Amino acid sequence: MKKTKVLEQVENQFETFQILNEQGEVVNEAAMPDLTDEQLQELMKRMVYTRIWDQRAISLNRQGRLGFYAPVAGQEASMLGSQYALDKDDWILPGYRDIPQIVWHGLPLYQAFLYSRGHFHGGQIPEGVNVLMPQIIIGAQIIQAAGVAYGLKAKGKQNVCITYTGDGGASQGDFYEGLNFAGAYRSPAIFVVQNNRFAISVPVEKQSAAKTIAQKAVAAGIHGVQVDGMDVLAVYAATKEARERGLEGNGPTLIETLTYRYGPHTMAGDDPTRYRSSELDDQWEQKDPLVRFRKFLENKGIWNEEAENKVIEQAKEDIKAAIKKADETPKQKVTDLIGFMFEELPHNLREQMEEYTAKESK
C-alpha cells in the first residue's frame, strides 16, 4: 500500500499543461507566451500550410508520385509549436513522421518529397540547416539526440537538441538509455513524446502501466511535463521553457504532448478503423488544433477567412512547384548509391562501381 501511495503522489504531479481550451479560450493567462500578433499569425499560417501539405502528400502518395509517407493531420500543434520555440542553430533529430519540423527548420520542401521517394538528394542537408534525416528505427533518434546534446555542451554552444518519438517509441530501450545519459551529463536535450494514443494499432494503455509518459522523467532525474498537444501555445511555452532550462545548465526535459493523428499510421496499408472507434475519432476532432487556434486568433481580431485562404493558395502553389522540382531532379543511379557509401571504396565495391559505370555509359 505504501508503494501505491508513493506512485500515486508521483503520477499526480503530472497534470496536463494547457493554455487554450477547446473553444479557443485562454484558461491559463499566467502561462501565456510573449508572442506578438505577427508571431501568432505566423504560427497559424504554418499549421494551415502543413494541413494542406499533408492532404496533398496523401493524394500524391495514392497517385504513386510519393513513396513512404506518414500523415500528420492532428499533430500540427505538437510539431510546429515545439519547432517554433527553437533557435535556427538548434538541432532537430526527427522520427519518420516529423517532416514538417525539419522543413520549417530549413530543409527545402522538394527535398522532403525526394526523401519520401528514397532519392539520395533528399538526405543531402543544405549547409546551415541543423537537422538529421528522419530515423526509421523506432526510438533510435533518442539516444542519438543525447549524444548531439552532449556535444553541444562540450563545445560550449548556446544551443539545444530536440528529438521526437511517439508513445510506442517510449517503450524502446534506446528511449530510457537516451534519457538516462542526457540526465547524467545535464545535457541540453529536449525529448518530445507525441502521444497520439496508438503505436500503429497498439493503444497507449497497453504500452505502459504508467499513468503518463511524462513521469518516466523521474527515473532519469530530469524534468518532465505533460502538455495538451492540441494547444499550440501550450506546446510552444513548454518547449521554450525546456530550451531555457537546457541552456542554463539545468539539464534535459521530457515533454509528453497529448495529441492525435487523424489519418492512418502511414500510407503503407494501415487501416485505423480496425483499431479506433468512430466515437474516439469524433472526440478528438473536437480538439482540432487548427480550429482551436483559429477561434483564439479570430477573437483577437487578427485572423479571418481571407487570411486563411491566402495561406491555402500559397501552400498549393509551393507544393506544386516543389513536386515539379522533385520530378525534374535527375534519377539516382546505382553508382550514386555506391559512391556515397565510403570516402574510399573497398575492393568489392570498386568492382561493382566499375561494373555499373560500364552499364550506365551504354
CATH number of the domain enclosing 123? 3.40.50.970
Quick one: CA dihedral 103, 107, 112, 115, positive or negative?
Answer: negative
Q: Are residues 346 and 292 in the same domain?
A: no
User: In this structure, which amino acid lies at residue 161?
Assistant: C
Q: Are residues 182 and 306 in the same domain?
A: yes
Q: 190-202 burial, b for 16+ CB within 10 Å, e for fewer?
A: bbbbbbbbbbeee
* Residue 9 confidence (pLDDT): 79
Residues involved in catalysis? 261, 265, 275
Q: Are residues 135 and 238 in the same domain?
A: yes
- CA gyration radius, the chain: 21
Please answer whether residues 73 and 55 qualify as being in contact, where contact means their C-beta atoms are separated by less than 8 angstroms.
Answer: yes
304, 332, 343: which is closest to 118 by C-alpha? 332
Q: Are residues 84 and 102 in the same domain?
A: yes
d(CA 345, CA 126): 24
* Residue 4 confidence (pLDDT): 78
Q: Are residues 281 and 344 in the same domain?
A: no
279-296 residue pLDDT tens:
999 999 999 999 999 999
The distance between the two most distant Cα atoms of the chain, rounded to a whole number of Å, is 77
Of all helices (H) and strands (E), which one includes residue 222?
none
Q: What is the DSSP string of 135-181?
A: B-STTHHHHHHHHHHHHHHHTT-S--EEEEEETTGGGSHHHHHHHHH
* Residue 2 confidence (pLDDT): 59
* Helix (H/G/I), strand (E/B), else coil: 95: strand
Q: Are residues 37 and 79 in the same domain?
A: yes
Burial of residue 170 (CB within 10 Å: 0-12, 13-18, 19+) is buried
Residues of the chain with confidence (pLDDT) below 70: 1-3
d(CA 95, CA 97): 6
d(CA 76, CA 88): 19
Q: Are residues 268 and 214 in the same domain?
A: yes
* Residue 11 confidence (pLDDT): 83
Q: Are residues 64 and 108 in the same domain?
A: yes
Domains: count for the chain:
2
What the block records as the C-alpha cell of 133 is 534525416
* Cell 502518395 belongs to residue: 61
Q: Residues with Cβ < 8 Å from 316, sequence gap 6 or more?
A: 52, 56
State which residues form the domain around 345: 332-362
305-335 residue pLDDT tens:
999 999 999 999 999 999 999 999 999 999 9
Q: Are residues 343 and 326 in the same domain?
A: no
Q: Are residues 136 and 100 in the same domain?
A: yes
Q: Are residues 28 and 91 in the same domain?
A: yes
How far apart, in Å, do the first and last CA atoms of the chain sit? 77
Q: Are residues 359 and 264 in the same domain?
A: no
